[in-house]
Amino acid sequence: MLYICYRYRYTLDELPVMLHKLKLRAESFDNWVSTVKNALDVNDPKKLGKNVLIFSILCVNLKIKIYKTIILPVVLYGCETWSLTLREERGLRVFENRVLRRVFGPKRDEVTGEWRKLYNEELSDLYSLPNIVWVVKSRKMRWAGHVTCMGEGRGV
């Protein structure tokens, strides 16, 4: 006997195989859900950010969006009023490179075949947006423009 379900045709002999495949997919989904829940464990806030950025199921574009929308605004809050020294600029670059290394992960060396960290130049090539120090300086300039447009009649 032939059964028609939407666009698929199958016999009763094929039904156990189809159900077995469906069961395997459901189990793999359950494993995926438990992995995501462990990575996003809210009880340990120190673990939360680190796990999300190195989480292998998330694609790189999503990790970059998380960095741009959640991490950068927190780090750069009030940066318009900062007076950065060269040491602080270097510290911001180190922070950004550390986060980007977590986002992009290690790279296999072509010569030795071993895993290694990405170099700073490779990170800047992969992350085509401006670096964090440039963002701070541009925000400071934009804020200075707003202040000059306020005029003398408005108190600071």
List all residues 6 or more positions away from 64 whose beta carbon is below 8 Å from its beta carbon. Answer: 103, 127
User: Considering the chain, what percentage of its residues have pLDDT values greater than 70?
Assistant: 74
Residue 27 has pLDDT above 80, yes or no: no
H/E run at residue 115? strand 115-116
Confidence of residue 156 (pLDDT cuts 50, 70, 90): low
Q: What digits encode the pLDDT tens for the residues 52-63?
A: 676 666 788 888
Q: How far apart are CA 9 and CA 2, in angstroms?
A: 7
- State the chain's mean pLDDT as an integer: 80
Q: Which of 54, 53, 83, 75 is nearest to 143 (CA)?
A: 83
Span 21-45, average pLDDT: 67
Q: What is the pLDDT of residue 2?
A: 46
Q: How far apart are CA 116 and CA 105, in angstroms?
A: 9
List all residues 6 or more positions away from 37 whose beta carbon is below 8 Å from its beta carbon. Answer: none
Confidence of residue 17 (pLDDT cuts 50, 70, 90): confident
Residue 47 has pLDDT above 60, yes or no: no
Span 28-48, average pLDDT: 63
Q: How far apart are CA 58 and CA 139, in angstroms?
A: 30
Confidence of residue 10 (pLDDT cuts 50, 70, 90): low
Span 121-140, average pLDDT: 92
Higher pLDDT, 110 or 51: 110
Q: What is the pLDDT of residue 138?
A: 94
H/E run at residue 3? strand 2-5
List all residues 6 or more positions away from 97 whose beta carbon is below 8 Å from its beta carbon. Answer: 120, 123
Residue 8 has pLDDT above 80, yes or no: no
At residue 23, what is the residue type? Answer: K
